[in-house]
Every structure is written in structure tokens, then in C-alpha cells.
Chain A
Amino acid sequence: MHRLLLGTSIALATLMGASACAEDAPPVAWSDPFCQSVMPRVSAWLDSASAAAPAPTDDRYGGTLVAAGIEDLSRGGGMNAFLANDYVARQHQQYVTLMTLVRYGNDLEPEPWLAESWEINEEGTEVTFHLRDDVVWHDGQPTTAHDVAFTYERITDPAIGYVNAQFFEPWIAGEEGVQVVDDYTVRMRLTPHSEYLDPWTAVAIMPRHLLGEVEVEDLITHPFGSLCPVGNGPFVFREHLTDQQWTFVANPAFPGSLGGRPFIDRYVYRKIPEQATIFTELLTGGIDFYIQPRPEQVSRMEESAETVVKTFPSRTYAFLALNTRLPQFADARVRRALALGWNRSEFVEANLLEHGRVANGPVPPTHWAYDPGAADDLDYDPEEAARLLDEAGWVDRDGDGIRENADGVPLSFSVAYNAGNVIRQNAAEFMQGQLRGLGVDARAEAADYGELIGRVMTAGEDRDFESLILAWTVEFRLDDTPLFHSREFAGEAGFAGLRDAEVDRLLDAINTAESREEARPLWSAYQERIAEVLPYQFLYYPNRIMGLSSTVHGVEADLRGEWVNFKDWWIDPAAR
């Protein structure tokens, strides 16, 4: 018996000792040949840059900030701008470790970032960017016009398979579209577009000296983004432990005219898949920043003296996509009746608890093109909904309480949502209850997210779904062509299956409008038309919510995102 206990303790101690010592070895990721050549250079540069940097004078400098979210950043493409399919990962590319040419200021007007200035020719077909000459990659190489041209050529090359391909629709693809004028001047060509700077606020510039030799087809599967990214932004990537954490340190050589070195010494992003656990970590001081808490956790954080909550409108809208290929949804009057037939405001109030508002269209209220008058007639109105259904020929013909059309097809469909998403589940069940009173049989149905997406998005003329709750997070560049243009009917994102000549015309016209003044009426007409044909039932615009430790100061998050002024955050000296 004693031997058993002794053996156990020895085994456990060995285990711990071995794992503790193993930590001194270089990270597993560095076994990759690309990383082996790159990371030592980053370390060497960081050492010399730190030595050369003047000692911080302000007491705001210093400390470690720990953030936690439910996904690993690599899930959204990591720091690979060629594969940025997730909001949080993109935020880190834009504001933490990489740089965009231009960024939006507080007033949402473009302001200089990597590009010091820019001009566009009179025809609106040529943009010239003048770059700063004091930004260096974190291995010491300067960031130049060649990097910008490289990024441009690759991201507009159809062979890359860029997930946000629609961003670059107006730009001339490939080498023809871009010209290096000198080391710090680059010229690009496009068909005139009112929001031509938008993609350059979203897409970070990538290093040509590291990725220039990589085949274009291999760029979206390159280890750069997740194992050993080399950026040029305010934070230097140090380490990524799979499914565990990312570590960044302050860039001591970040240009002084852009604010200089960040206040925080070290930034750790942790993945914790369970939100209740993240919440506990925030309350016990294990982390400083809880990314996107659930609405019901907010009041507890507001009560505590150790935590503060910040919220701001997001660029997300949640919707119920209807498969308009089906007879139940083919008639726009039915789709409108479904929108009027249940009380969305009541649902939003009860479930988002002031952290969101009812959505009536695909343009968020925070976007300049939003027209508050375009879809103001979608409030709860069951009588009108019943009238529309009658008018469209859907009446209860066999007395079972469910309406049928003339062919005997019942107005019956499933409302699918991804299992585990409580707000969406509540939405589906709330709809089910209220629509039942109208003689509509909507059945809430949980499914695995991958399966749902697979059924809905698989490209092709037909889709295997009836209706489904999803949400889109858009960049500032708004272009619904992949969603609603009949050209994209068979494409991944065209699952609603809308074919409407007016929508097509408006989307095309918006894309060729040369100024906001020209585009604005088109956007209004578009929002009105979408509110008539309703390929989606718009549900709500959720707020972004931040749970922060009260020792964190200087946070100014807004529509641009949580990390927009991340380099100016600082930690109470007493709490470091």
C-alpha cells in the first residue's frame, strides 16, 4: 500500500518536473523551417531595438494585459491578412501586430496610418499612396512600397482564393493594377468607386521579403499567420501556443509620430472556450479583458468595483435567412407577413437587455449609408400579417390550424439555429410561439454549426434548408452582391436565393457610384427594396460588449472595434 502511494507521488512529481523543464525549450512551432529562419531574427532585432529605445518616462508604461476570448486567433486566419475571415483576428491584424495603409479616425473619416498621405486623380481611377519611411518589420527590414505592391498583387490575384474577394471588386487585378513609383510611393488603379479607401482600412500589408517567394496558391495555408507572424505594428509577436495563448510585446521602435511605443509591455491573448470560465477569470483577476461577455453577465460586472463594462454598436446583424426557392417563401408577401407576424422588439428587449436593437435591414444604423426611413414599416402588426397571408392565398383549408396554399402545401418550416447559442434559440422559440397564432408552423430546430453551414452554404442551385438564424459581421466596406445579387444565386453566400432585377440593378449601381453623394440615394433605394422583398428576416444588431478590469485605463473602443486604440491602453501602476 505504501509502495502504491510512494509510486504515485514519484510519478506525479516526475511528470510535473519534466513538464516544467520542457518549457525552456523553444516553442514547438519553431520546428517549422520557415519559423526557424525568421524568429531568431525577430528576437535579435527586438533586443537591439529595446536597447536603442529611450527609457519610458511616463508612469503609464509597463505591465501585462491578459485578454480572453472563446476562439484561438488562428481560427480566423491568425495574422495572415490573406486569410482573415474572423472579426477578432482581423482586429489583431489591423491594430495590434500589423498595419493597414489607412485607418478610420474617431469621426470615421480615413486618416493616415502606414500611408502618410494619398491622392486620387480627377477621373477617380488612380490612387497614389505616400508611405511613411520609419516603419520597420519586426525583423528590422523597412516596410516599403514593395510590400504594398506585393500585398496588392497577391490579394487581387484570383488564384489566391481570398475570403473577402468582394472587397477588391473595383480594383484592377494583379500587376497591372499597381505600380511602385519609388520605395515609399505606390500607385493603384481602379474603376471609380465612392468608398475606394475601404479595403485599405481593412486589409493589413504583408511582408514581401518573407512571403514574396511563396506560391500564390500556398499563401492561405502558409504557417506565417499562426506559427511565426512578423508584423510591423505596435506589438511584436512572440509566441503562439496552440489553443492556449498568443503573446505579444510592445514594439520599442514604433514611430513616435504615430504615438510611439504602446504603454503595455506585454499582451497575452488567451483562448478559453467556456464563457462562464472567462467570467470567473475576470472576477478573480486572472485576466483583464473579457472579450464579448453574454448580455446577462453584464449587470454582475457593473456591480463589482473590480470590473467595468464598455459597450458600443457593432458591425454585426443577425438575421433569419429564408430559402426563397421553396414554395412557402417564394412570395414576398409571405416573407413580409412573417416579419410583421412576431414581435421582434419585445424579443430584443428581453434577450439583449439593452445591448442591441431591432434590425430592419442589412445596413447597420452606424453606417453612413443607413437610411432610417427606408424600412420603418416593419413593426409588429399581426393583423396586417394575417391580411397579407390571406391575400397571398395561404389560408387554413383543412381546419388543422395551419395555413395552406392552393396546392395544399402547408405554411410549415423549420427555424434552424446552432446548438448552444442561447439568444438564437430563444429567437427561434419565440417566433415559433407567436407565428403559431397566425397559422404558421415554424419549428425551432437545433443543429451543429458545421452541419448547418454545410447545408446552407454549399454552392449550388439548391440548398437543403428551410430557414436558419445566422449573423454577418461586415467591415466598413459594405457590398451585398455575394448575398443578394442573382449572379451569386449559386454561390456560397447566395443561400437566400433572391432573384430580383431591381436589387441587382441597385447593387451594380452602388458599386460604380463615384461619390457618396451619388451612392447615398442608391443605398436608400436599396434598403427600401430589400425591406420589400425581404430575403432575410432581419432580427437584431447586437452591441459589442467588453468586460474590463477596473485597473485598465485609456480604452476608447467604438464601431471600429475593441482594439482600435489598444496601444494607448495602460494599467494602474499599483496593479502590475
Chain B
Amino acid sequence: MFVVVHLAPGDPVDIMAGPALTADAAAQMRANFGLDRPLAVQYGRWLAAFATGDFGYSHTHQAPVRTVLASLLPNTLSLGAAALLGSFVLGILIGVVQALKHRTAVDGALSVVMLFFYSMPSFWLALMLTLTFGLMARNVWGWPIWFPASGMYSVDYQSLGSAARVVERLRYLTLPTLTLTLVLTAGIARFMRGSMLEVIGEDYVRTARAKGLSERRVIWGHAFRNALLPIATLSGLYVPLLLSGTVFVESVFGWPGMGRAMVEAVHARDYPLVMAGSFVFAVMVVAGNLLADVLYAAIDPRVRYD
């Protein structure tokens, strides 16, 4: 990873260069940034610092990487968590409905709608949502509620009371979450639909029906819970996917998050931030898998970790 980012052409000094940069000054800048040493030495120094919790200095943010991560990570996590919750709740609901209304017009219509959002570029979808629920809603239709195009809260946030802050946060969170949710839901719904259909055909569901249980108990008590198992695994896989998926959404909605910062860091050859960010993403993947395991245990009584 270290070698790959360093092998890409260009370095931070090249990116900062302007028409008044002399060759001598550039060489000195490189030395002051620690970029003049052989790659192996740079790696050794980076590794030694990394092991002690020093992630280095970000040239693009003019700040220690630790500070940058501490500012950006919570933003990405809150957006990611909201989108994950939203898409799974919506996806599971739609999946169940589709399975129950299997091969009806409802099933078909939902599939078409899901596919429509799934195949839409999230960048474009984000712009369209902003246009509709932000610009048009406020300026043309004069709706009482409209959604801001960017940011996590307004510039007057600090002066609000805590209840108003929560409302404001939700208002600013709505469009980015909706974008991610619409894009992600299709896959989950499809998965849930398949899983549910499979379970409904199982013997124990027939047994439950034969016992004379109400249809509601059969579906929600017996079938649903079993159908959730594969979805729990899926949730773990979605955690890292969400981080990469937020890049465009973070850009369009001016959401100061990690995904966008990572892409910009790669473009600007901000090596320490790229390295630390990759490390964080790796941790997320592990955490995602852990989450899946924990959910598994919660849903399936047969799974016990002693």
C-alpha cells in the first residue's frame, strides 16, 4: 500500500508548485516534508511512528492526520449508520412484501421501482433530489418543509437548543441518507425476497400453518426470523461498501466525511492520510464482520459463542 501510493507520479510538492517556485526551494520543501529520503527509509519511519499511534501529518489539511480523522470519521459514521439502517429497514420490508405478494402486480411494480433506483448513478440521483426537495420545493412550490442542499447543519447551529439541533441534524441528514438508501435498498430487498420465499416453502412453516397458527404468527414469528439470517451476513458486507459508496454523496452534499477526504488525498498525494485512512477502512471491514456475527447470534438461538 505504502509503495503503491508513493509510486503514483507526483508528490505533494509538485501539487503545491506555482510559477514562483524555484528548484532550490522545491528541494527544500521536499526535505521539510520528509519526502527526500529513500522510500524504504520513509516507510521505516512511517511504520515506527504508526506503531506508536502517530499517523503523521496531512499536507492537504495542514494538520496532524489524527486530528483530521477525529474530525471526519464521526461524520462518515453517522451518515453511514443512518443509510445502513434506512436501507436495511426499507429493504427488508419491501423484500417481505414482495415475497408475500409473490408474482403479483405489486411484486413486479416494486421490482421495477427498485431496479430504477439501483441502476441510477448516485451522483445524478443526489443532484435530482436536491433539485426537487431543495431548490424547487423552496423557490418554486413554496413548500413549508424543504431540505438544504449541503452540509451537516446550518451556520447558526451553535445558537440552537438541543431539541432544535436534533431536528436540524435530521433535516440536513435527510437527502444524503435518502440517496444512499434508495441506491442500496434494491439489493437488500432482492435478497430478502429470495430468502423469504425459500423459507416460506420450508416444512416448519407448513407445520406452523397446520398447527392452526394465525397467518400473522406464521409469517412474523416463524418465517421472518429464519429469513433474516442471510441478511445479517449481508449487513456485515455492506459496512465497507457503504464507505466507498459515500464518496459521491459526500461530495454532492458537501458532507465532510472520510470517503471524500480519502479520494481527495489520493489525488493530492497526501500519503499519510491515505495510509491512515486505509487502515481505518480495514478496521471497518473487520468491525463489519464482527457486527454480522453478533447479529447472527442475536437472531439464531442455535448460535452461541462460549
Give residues in A with beta carbon < 8 Å to B.
1, 4-5, 8, 11-13, 15-17, 19-23, 28-29, 31-32, 64, 66, 68, 72, 74-75, 77-78, 80, 83, 85, 158-167, 217-218, 220-221, 223, 225-227, 241-245, 247, 266, 268, 270-274, 276-278, 280-281, 283-286, 448-459, 464, 472-475, 477, 479-483, 488, 490-494
Contact = CB atoms under 8 A, between A and B. Distances in A.
A265 to B, nearest CB: 12
Nearest to B24: A158
B267 A8 contact: no
B21 A243 contact: no
Nearest to A286: B148
A448 B267 contact: yes
B146 A221 contact: no
Given A244-B152, A457-B14, A450 B162 contact: no
Interface in B196-233: 220, 224
Return the 5 tightest CB-CB contacts between A and B, nearest first.
A454-B10, A491-B23, A454-B9, A226-B62, A161-B29
Interface in B1-17: 8-11, 13-17
Contact of A226 (B24, B63, B72, B150): B63
A244 B253 CA distance: 11
20 contacts: A21-B162, A28-B67, A74-B60, A158-B25, A217-B31, A221-B33, A223-B62, A226-B63, A242-B71, A242-B256, A243-B260, A244-B152, A274-B150, A285-B138, A453-B17, A455-B10, A457-B14, A473-B18, A474-B19, A488-B23
B285 interface: no
Contacts of A494: 23
A162 B162 contact: no
B130 A85 contact: no
A166 B162 CA distance: 52
A163 B127 CA distance: 38
A85 B254 contact: no
Given A11-B85, A242-B71, A493-B17, A20 B25 contact: no
A472 B257 CA distance: 30
Contacts of B220: 1
Contact of A244 (B131, B151, B169): B151
A74 B14 CA distance: 17
Nearest to B158: A23
Contacts of B19: 166, 472, 474, 480, 482-483, 493
Interface in B244-263: 251-254, 256-257, 260-261
B14 A286 contact: no
Given A161-B32, A284-B149, A451-B9, A493 B21 contact: yes
Contacts of B9: 450-451, 454-455, 458, 464
B10 A451 contact: yes
A227 B67 CA distance: 9
Interface in B42-71: 57, 59-64, 67-68, 70-71
Given A280-B134, A449-B267, 12 more contacts: A68-B254, A75-B268, A78-B62, A162-B25, A242-B261, A271-B256, A280-B149, A281-B149, A450-B269, A457-B10, A458-B10, A492-B26
Given A164-B20, A488-B22, A23 B67 contact: no
A482 B251 contact: no
A28 to B, nearest CB: 5
A223 B33 CA distance: 14
Contact of A276 (B18, B60, B63, B127): B127
A231 B25 CA distance: 26
B29 A74 contact: no
Given A23-B158, A161-B32, A83 B261 contact: no
Given A8-B89, A163-B17, A272-B150, A19 B169 contact: yes
B130 A277 contact: yes
A449 B268 CA distance: 8
B57 A221 contact: yes
Contacts of B149: 277, 280-281, 284, 286
Interface residues of B, number: 83
- Of the listed residues A161, A218, A266, A449, the one surrounded by the most CB atoms of chain B closer than 10 A to its CB is A161
B7 to A, nearest CB: 10
A164 B18 contact: yes
Given A19-B74, A475-B20, A242 B81 contact: no
A271 B260 CA distance: 12
Nearest to A5: B89
Contacts of B224: 1
Given A217-B32, A223-B64, A243-B260, A459 B23 contact: yes
B269 to A, nearest CB: 5
B15 A20 contact: no
Contacts of B184: none
A413 B78 CA distance: 48
Interface of B: 8-11, 13-33, 57, 59-64, 67-68, 70-72, 74, 78, 81-82, 85, 89, 92, 127, 130-131, 134-135, 138-139, 146, 148-152, 154-158, 162, 165-166, 169-170, 173, 220, 224, 251-254, 256-257, 260-261, 264, 266-269
Given A19-B74, A75-B60, A284 B139 contact: yes
Contact of B62 (A17, A74, A162): A74
Contacts of B127: 276-277
Contacts of A277: 127, 130, 149-150, 252-254
A216 B253 CA distance: 39
Contacts of B173: 16
Contacts of A448: 267
A167 B22 CA distance: 10
Contacts of A220: 29, 32-33
Nearest to B154: A286
A459 B26 contact: yes
Contact of A85 (B11, B16, B131, B267): B16
Given A277-B253, A454-B269, A66 B155 contact: yes
A363 B269 CA distance: 31
- Of the listed residues A28, A247, A488, the one surrounded by the most CB atoms of chain B closer than 10 A to its CB is A28
B135 A270 contact: no
A164 B28 CA distance: 12
A241 B255 CA distance: 12
- Of the listed residues A217, A268, A284, the one surrounded by the most CB atoms of chain B closer than 10 A to its CB is A284
A338 B152 CA distance: 49
Contacts of A488: 22-23
A435 to B, nearest CB: 26
Nearest to A276: B127
B293 to A, nearest CB: 18
Contacts of A245: 151, 155
Given A15-B78, A492-B13, A268 B148 contact: no
Contacts of B70: 28, 31
Given A11-B81, A459-B27, A241 B148 contact: no
A281 B169 contact: no
Nearest to A83: B62
A19 B63 contact: no
Given A242-B68, A242-B72, A164 B21 contact: yes
A472 B150 CA distance: 30
B104 to A, nearest CB: 21
B268 to A, nearest CB: 6
